[in-house]
Amino acid sequence: DTAVSQTPKYLVTQMGNDKSIKCEQNLGHDTMYWYKQDSKKFLKIMFSYNNKELIINETVPNRFSPKSPDKAHLNLHINSLELGDSAVYFCASSQGRQIDYTFGSGTRLTVV
Amino acid sequence: QQQVKQSPQSLIVQKGGISIINCAYENTAFDYFPWYQQFPGKGPALLIAIRPDVSEKKEGRFTISFNKSAKQFSLHIMDSQPGDSATYFCAATNRDDKIIFGKGTRLHILP
């Protein structure tokens, strides 16, 4: 039933670890996004994929690597986690350049 | 030029009052202005959107007012209810680029 689903919902990990967040959408959309929301609620785009092709890659440390195995899935792998990576990460999707995004419920990442 | 400036950062309104959130933009290429509503623990969800060829759009208690010459737009929530308490994001985009979000307004409606 869920349109954009992310797993896990919560992730607590130690500095230096590597972790992945998964996202799946069942809306038939062909474009997916990763956003980072900091403690002040500011939404910052990180990556966007259209039909498995990377189309937006904002200034993000190369410790962050997105992977899109198909247009319904977009995963985010983070290497060597740092304290500053603590945030809520949102996956979103849209149809082509249509600009109404559907967001997932977020993954709260806490690095200790 | 890519920024969308949103104010206020936080807002407290009595139940039944009018909540007003303002946004301003610089890029005249923007042609679509959505507002997103985010409840705690949830992702943002599209609330209402407007294109610059109209000056106002109303959906229920929510109204967007748009001033193209001033490059400003605002969200008005009439008869504000405690269930409207959330963070609201204005945004702007054109068809060939990503959405640019404002920094958000935390709205609290007093019961």
Tell me the per-residue pLDDT of A32-86, one tens digit each, with 9 for 90 and over: 999 999 988 899 999 998 888 888 878 789 999 999 999 999 999 999 999 999 9
The shortest CB-CB distance from A100 to any of B46, B101, B103 is to: B46
CA distance B12 to B4: 22
Give the pLDDT band of residue B1 (cuts 50, 70, 90).
low
Residue A57: the pLDDT is: 79
Domain borders along chain A are 4-111
Within 8 A of A102 by CB-CB distance, chain B residues are: 45-46
* Higher-confidence position of B48 and A56: B48
Q: What tokens appear for B6 in the block?
A: 């949103």
Give the pLDDT band of residue B7 (cuts 50, 70, 90).
very high
- The amino acid at residue A65 is S
CA distance B72 to B82: 27
Give A57→chain B minimum CA distance, Å.
11
At residue A88, does pLDDT exceed 60? yes
Find the mean pLDDT for residues A20-28: 96
Q: What tokens appear for B48 in the block?
A: 């209402």
Task: Please give the share of chain B, as a percent, with pLDDT higher than 90.
Answer: 85
Closest of A37, A40, A25 to residue A101, by C-alpha: A25
Classified by CATH at the fold level, domain B1-53+95-102 comes out as Immunoglobulin-like (2.60.40)
Within 8 A of A56 by CB-CB distance, chain B residues are: 98
Q: Do the strands A10-13 and A107-111 form a parallel or antiparallel pair, or are they unpaired? A: parallel
At residue A97, does pLDDT exceed 70? no
A11-49 burial, b at 16+ Cβ within 10 Å, e below that, comes to bebeeeeebebbbbbeeebbbbbbbbbeeebebebbbbb
Tell which CATH architecture fits domain A4-111: Sandwich (2.60)
Q: Do the strands A102-103 and A43-50 form a parallel or antiparallel pair, or are they unpaired? A: unpaired
